[in-house]
Amino acid sequence: MSVTTLKRIALFTMVLNYVGALIPGMPVVFQWLGKLSAPLFFYCMAWSLEKTSDKKAYFKRLYIASVSLAAFNLLMSIVAQKTGLVTAVTTNVFATLFASAFLVDVIEYANRHPKRKLRIWCTYLFYQVAIAGVWAGLYEVVEVPYAVLNFGSAVLGSALTCEGALMYVLMGVLFYFTKEDKSKKRMVLGYLGIFLVFFVNSAFGLWGRIFSLVGHDVLVALMEIMTGLVLWGASFRPMFDLSHMFHNDFQWMMIFALPLVLACNGRLGYSKKKRKREKLSPQFRKYFYYVFYPAHVYVLWFIGAVLIK
């Protein structure tokens, strides 16, 4: 299976996810299938980062897309508040893709400069944790609107306050550094580790129970923001609550994306003959996903808002 085919599957499952999330009355199975989309897109990002002829241009595209969508989300949140529509869109996977790709670049840069590695890592980690700490404080104490904070996160390139946060960012890094392994053992083990973090949290609320012992709203909010895990209410839920696992916190279903990832051969899948047959310009293929993602989300959001009204 080529990267292009995998990207199309990711696109299809992404659409199902947002149909299920934004259109009232849709079966939850749409969102179950939608949990395959993020891992597939991150795997495609890993190959795109590897094969691009201009990494700076690739980073620039992701960053501009991230900040632009965050700005539009902020604008629409104001419109939603003024008009009394449903809660505005806050999703922005561009920010997570950028943060993941940037972390890959940091790792490679640090490896090329072993004498400066410690300073590079200390600077990066301090920067990221500081952003997350300020984010949590502003959200919980000052009650700054979520859309405003998300815009700031996108501008600053935060890896801990983007959509999916640390777990998604690490997923992209894992895929990048293991995609060419012949045995795929490191990739499988790493992916299973990320899956288990989500599964244990969903099934047993373990991380939420641990973090709730801290007893401070800002700190718990900080951990929830930084990890991308659902932590609130864990101590009040019974263990292995199937209703919660299948209707509220089902990110663990990302495990079903693994066979598709393993089936991908890393090739783009665009031969000269195929390009001529499809008659799609390179620019169209390059920018289609950047346009389609926010466009389809907002079309579905508007339809959902009208139906709710």
Dihedral of alpha carbons 175, 176, 180, 186, sign: negative
- Could you tell me the two tokens for 161? 């306050």
Confidence (pTM):
0.90
Buried b (16+ CB within 10 A) or exposed e, 4-13: ebbbebbbeb
- b/e 228-255 (16+ beta carbons within 10 angstroms → b): bbbbeebeebeeebeebbeeebbbbbbb
* φ, ψ for residue 192, nearest 5 deg: -65, -35
Tell me: pLDDT of 30 over 70. yes
pLDDT at 197 over 60: yes
Count of domains forming the chain: 1
pLDDT digits (tens, 9 = 90+) for 64-73: 999 999 999 9
Looking at residue 272, its pLDDT comes to 55
- What the block records as the tokens of 102 is 């940037």
Cβ of 153: how many Cβ atoms within 10 Å?
Answer: 25
Q: How far apart are CA 266 and CA 46, in angstroms?
A: 10
pLDDT tens-digit profile of 100-133?
999 999 999 999 999 999 999 999 999 999 998 8
Cα separation of 67 and 130, whole Å?
Answer: 20
pLDDT of 236 higher than 70: no
Phi-psi region of 283 (alpha: psi -120 to 50; beta: other; left: phi over 0): alpha
User: What confidence score (pLDDT) does residue 280 get?
Assistant: 64
pLDDT computed for residue 175 by the predictor: 97
Which is more confident, 248 or 224?
248
Least confident of 61-70, 122-131, 144-153, 271-280: 271-280
Q: Using pLDDT thresholds of 50, 70 and 90, give the confidence band for residue 93.
A: very high
Domain that holds residue 265: 3-308
